[in-house]
Chains A and B, each alone.
Chain A
Amino acid sequence: MGMDLMTLRSTRRSVLMGMAACAAAGTAQAQRGWEPMRPVQFIVPAGTGGGADQMARVIQGIISKHGLMKQPMVVVNKAGGAGAEGFLEAKGARGNPHMLVITLSNLFTTPLATGVPFNWKDLTPVTMMALDEFALWVKADSPWRSVPEFIAAAKEQKLKLGGTGSKQEDQIIASAISRATGAPLTYIPFRGGGEVAVQLVGGHVDATVNNPIEAVTHWRSGALRPLCVFDGKRLPDTGKMTETMAWSDIPTCREQGLDVDYLMLRGIFMPAGVKPEQVAFYEGLMARVRETPEWKELMQQGAFNTTTLTGEAFRDWLTREEDRHRSIMQETGLLAPQ
């Protein structure tokens, strides 16, 4: 194991050399365009240690390690009010090209659930970095081996589903399951994904919809079992995670007769009113980040959906997703009272 790591590291170093050369060429090209003149503030509308925070700090680390930007990047957590604090700050920084925001689904859910005066159109979309997957998890020693068995049990006795936060992605999925199948689920909100996974391992809740990265270690240790993934197609990674299963062996929920899919946005935004060449700079920067081995490693570990979008296509995607969130939240009564 140790040897493998060593060799891996030295190959990585040679890759880095190449990267550095590319980066130098890249900066020469960028010199004709716009470049940051001050340190760039990278706002995380979530607490330290969570998925968005991790991703922001990986990006920051990659940029500084590979020298992709002359100015430093500073990560700032603005978690208040389910991220409303961070979004409102970015909304107020109109025209500031030295500010980036990383978003999760709370880009849609927080304003819809709380009525805070904010909409994603108050920001400039830069790029979609990836989409985070969700899976339905139960305890390995539970009697439910497939989605139909789980749904049948949920109809008989009200099962408890634990998730992160309230009126956010996890609860939206829970409500969508209930709506699609008619099986009632009691949703119990907790603070973070890791905590939710452990509550399931300890048997305090019956199921969760954790992201892969939050539950993978408990799956591999034999404590949890995934029933299905909430994506249109199976996960691509075929490496064995347990004795018998790889990510790609988990069926999609639709295959199992549960017509629910949900992916969470990991995107980068800027304040409104910035110039096109400034947006272009960060688009290029993030594209270079995605080329690094560290980023690819993170994507593989977390079994992310590596779809990326920019420009008009990204805008269209955002418009569709906002409508979808509004209609699901309206139907399930999660919308803020007007």
Chain B
Amino acid sequence: MEELGLLMQGFSVALQPGNMLLMLVGVVLGVLIGVLPGLGGANGIAILLPLTFAMPPVSAVIMLSCIYWGALFGGAITSILFNIPGEPWSVATTFDGYPMAQQGRAGEALTAAFTSSFIGAFVAVVLITFVAPVIAGFALRFGPPEFFAVMFLSFACFVGMSRGSPLKTIAAMMLGFLLAAVGMDTVTGQLRMTFGSEEMIRGFDFLVAVIGLFGISEILCSIEDGLRFKGQRAKIDLKVVLRTWAEMPRHAFLAARSALIGCWMGITPAGATPASFMSYGVARRMAKDPNEFGRGRIEGVIAPETAAHAAGTSALLPMLTLGVPGSPTAAVLLGGLIMWGLQPGPMLFVEQKDFVWGLIASMYLGNIAGLLVVLVAVPWFAAILRVPFPIIAALILTVCAIGAYTVSNAEFDIVLMLVFGIVGYVMKKLDYPLAPLVLALVLGDRTEEAFRQSLLLSEGNLGIFFHNWLSGGIMALGVTLLLWPALTWLRGVLAGSFGRARAA
């Protein structure tokens, strides 16, 4: 148990009063950053990075990683309260979190989100503490075909998620792929579908689209309903935390499964966003009453939040051991490591034990600090919903516009956000699901890239996706999941005809 000794040493570093203070500052800043859509964890850390150059590396990384934990926690808040995901990985949280808020259960949803985030992170940190080298080796096995297989699995988990017509789901998903293809094509180095416009070179940023599709269209819908914000008057106090906690043990299995999905996706490294979608899809698939999902089920909050936080935490592992960031935020932290004079990669664990174990210890403490901060604030967050809607709507619009602008400091993105708001409104009215569009927009690029890299490797042979047990296994699982609705339907038909034959 060499790790335990090192971890204890790490705690002694992280528990120094100065570092504890930085931890608290980091968490509070992180929550604020997470709440503001557009100003993601990656941007937040990048802005604050230069401030940390004068600090010792351990203190710097403790503060910055706590911003990251805070942002992971904070992303859920606006998703649940206003249907506006503060971070890409909280999109899946809106599906059930926002309906819960509309039913007056905002406090419950927030508590569930924060608690399950904490559980996910905790599982991931334990994993990092004890099996880091083994897992790092596993991550090395992921080349382009394996990566594509994982992406394929994420999409397969998601198909059949929405209740509406399957054709509408496919149409929405294809629109997402189309939008994802705009801009630079990394495989050929050519610009695609920019029509000579300088603004289009950037492509469609996922966050701008999501702020419009979810946030703005929700406001449009509310305006149509006569500026009423439905059924939010509920008594909110800290007891809601205890009540929700009493309910949580029932979902222990769900949380464990989601945490595993999250850890796996974080290490692969596919990141927190696909993890949250995949976990939500699987939870829905495995539920006894899948049709209740999307109408305010607490499981629909627990599953994505646990997975997102587990993935977000374990994404730091490939960064530390291999020097490959598992998420955009990890990428910025990676830059930080180099500036503090540390070389990320396999030698870090050998040469910089104080730094690595101080960071790991701060992961434990930072998440506890984060949980306390956000839980204490639950009643306040939920109380925001008591503000009269016309006032809150104006505020949301402002925050959305700031968010859309911040993503890449471009005025054009505010226009885009409004356009996406109208698109979202029309899609809602015509009963097209938004989730498949969002999923395709956020993962479409990476999926296409992995697919084409694989085909370059194999010189056009599709067999490469089944070239070893790893990618072959994941692909087979994906195909099975994809065909599952068809298979159950087929079984129904067969059983029916068999039954009729017997009756005849």
Binding site for B on A (CB under 8 A): 1-2, 9, 47-50, 53-54, 57-58, 60-62, 64-65, 75-78, 80-82, 84-85, 88, 113-114, 116, 160, 165-168, 171, 186-192, 194-195, 197-199, 201-205, 213-214, 216-218, 220-221, 223, 294, 297-298, 301, 334, 336
Contact = CB atoms under 8 A, between A and B. Distances in A.
Contacts of B103: none
B187 A166 contact: yes
Interface string B298-333: 000000000000000000001000111100100110
Given A114-B189, A201-B140, A217 B344 contact: yes
B338 to A, nearest CB: 6
A217 B69 CA distance: 27
Given A166-B188, A167-B189, A297-B341, A54 B46 contact: no
Contacts of B324: 194-195, 197-198
A189 B186 contact: yes
B50 A49 contact: no
A1 B139 CA distance: 30
B140 to A, nearest CB: 4
B335 A48 contact: yes
A294 B53 contact: yes
27 contacts: A1-B351, A48-B331, A48-B332, A53-B335, A57-B335, A61-B49, A62-B53, A75-B46, A80-B408, A85-B198, A85-B408, A88-B201, A114-B191, A160-B457, A165-B186, A166-B185, A166-B189, A191-B449, A192-B325, A201-B140, A203-B140, A203-B143, A204-B143, A204-B457, A214-B323, A220-B343, A298-B338
B473 interface: no
A255 to B, nearest CB: 27
B236 interface: no
B127 interface: no
A334 B189 CA distance: 9
B25 interface: no
Contacts of A205: 457
A116 B346 contact: no
Given A188-B453, A202-B140, A60 B201 contact: no
B339 A58 contact: yes
A186 B456 contact: yes
A60 B52 CA distance: 12
A65 to B, nearest CB: 6
A76 B46 CA distance: 10
Contacts of B338: 54, 213, 298, 301
Contact of B347 (A62, A78, A221): A221
A221 B191 contact: no
Interface residues of B, number: 56
A89 to B, nearest CB: 9
Nearest to A113: B189
Given A80-B203, A198-B322, A217-B323, A88 B459 contact: no
A195 B334 CA distance: 12
B459 A186 contact: yes
A202 B456 CA distance: 17
A81 B191 CA distance: 7
B42 interface: yes
Contacts of B348: 217
Greatest chain A CB density within 10 A among B186, B189, B338, B459 is at B189
Contacts of B341: 297, 301
Contacts of B339: 54, 57-58, 61, 294, 298
A49 B332 contact: yes
A301 B202 contact: no
Given A81-B184, A194-B323, A204-B143, A221 B50 contact: no
Nearest to A81: B201
